[in-house]
Structure 1
Amino acid sequence: MRLIILGITGLVGRKICQIIQERKLEFSEILGFASQESAGEKILINNKEIEVKELKEVFNYLGENTYVLSSLEENITKEIIPQIREKAIVIDNSSIFRLCEDVPLCVPEINKEVLKEHKNLIANPNCTTIQLVLVLHPLRRASEFKKVVVSSLQSVSGAGEDALEEYYYEAEFLAIGDQIQKATDSPFPFVIVDNIIPFIGEINEDGYCKEELKIINESRKILSYPNLDITATTIRVPIAHCHSISLYVEFEKEIEKEKIIEELKKENYLKVLEEEIPMPIIARETDLVYIGRIRRIDNNRYWFFIVADNLRRGAATNAVLILEELLKL
């Protein structure tokens, strides 16, 4: 059984290697592919060094019993993933196929049954969506929702390696007391250090940005909740790692705080913080979703605060969990 990792030298690709080793997943062969610039680089996975190959060579290695974990840029994904899926099973981290009707969008703790219907392509959800639905799923057992309002505080690493480099570049200006300047090739529309950017991606004519629509539409699909009344505001914030969510939920019926906590505690991927404060720094390099600051407004309305590691729980770990479920089929 062969495993192929596309975009292996990127932030998510490297996390996938780390998690495969942590979870002791064995394959007869593991191959990594990336851009021409990264070809020849050595990557450690399962205590072995593999040499990164150029992406265009991947077609020489496809075939039966081949699984592909892809973390490529969207323009490249559009071009090559439809060809690759003809000869291998693909788990794709991009947003390109997530809302396609015939492509499963999977968070295994919630809807692993959709994997049975895959046609050699499974979509890994948006990083913020994953940590959100992992909370909404147990909350829904307590009561259906009347309204869900999401405000996300998303770290720089969610925009990729170039964004993280820009963040560290700008931080140098702050450290020496100079006016912060962004690089000419910055992936951000404004400076990010000592600032926040209250949209992520293009803004449409209705005023919603691309990231907000991802959260709204993907949550409905994963939860099989097409009429879910959900809205979102996404904000890029100047921290390197981990995403946070301020979550407002209005339930259909009156519900006690104790019942909410009881349902949340049933999930081993959730860490309910009743006394501690959920902050990004505690979530880094873990696969847990931390939830705390649970506040009751009145009989059926509550506030929550959620944090998770966007590169692990919000991307690489979910992709590897999907892979593990596919291997069981």
Structure 2
Amino acid sequence: MTELADRYPTRLGAPGRWVERSDPTVWGAIETPELAGFETEGFAAVEDLLTPAEVAEFSAEIGRLAADPDLADDDRLIIEKSSRRVRSIFEVHKLSAAVSDLVRETRIAGLARQVLGSPVYLHQTRINYMPGFRGTGFYWHSDFETWHAEDGMPAPRAVSLSIALTDNYPVNGSLMVMPGSHRSFVGCQGTTPAENYRESLREQEIGVPTQSDIAELAARHGIVQFTGRAGSALLFDSNIMHGSSDNITPFPRSNIFLVFNSVENTLVDPFAAPAPRPTYIAARDFTAV
């Protein structure tokens, strides 16, 4: 594969360093009013992206997948360490015809095309489940750090769209982001073990910033939380620092998670891992949707 200069070094076995982003945040032309602040904030909330009827349809669909016995031994199904319940199901657009149709709609993929300024393909799709009482959160991280290190994504020219299928409250582990943190790439300490994804998808330990880095980012940018009713969505930059806390409430939380990458930013060899992750986690079919 093509070798590119590494402009965002990480996992070099030494303390990580910060790199001010040299790439744009918005590569195209913003047309949707809700995305007006994306350049500055690095994220945007879109209310009522799905109708109540669609929320009901997709909720039933993800319930069907979680209970599907044919997926019980499938590597795409990730189980919580503590509760032993389903945490995520990857490559969901290939497992569900309804999701496959949804991701191609202009109201979905069109949001990514506005920001990225090009045709886009699906780098990753999954369902995230956070059950009530014992749902485990995601520690602070930048997705791009992992996608760069372990998948070979050259630049942060990708966005994630998290579509809520349940109401997001401040108390049930809803996503937290640091507005503006997408402009700084925070390199992480340590090296990447072989097949690190087998553990990191259940609980990430490699590729997370230090507590001092998190504290400095929070002091600079603050923290906001994505809350809202089912059917709302959050579009966010691949490099924004984000995380979620555990859910000890009775209110479960679930979402469809779609990652769109520019067809002009396709994967090369990993920048800081011995081998690429499986294609159900990081697609290498770059066909535009």
TM bin, normalised by shorter chain, reads under 0.3
Q: Pick the structure with more helix per residue.
A: 1
Bigger relative contact order, structure 1 or 2 (CA pairs below 8 A, ≥6 apart)? 2
Rg larger in structure: 1
Q: Scaled by the length of structure 2, what TM-score is found?
A: 0.26
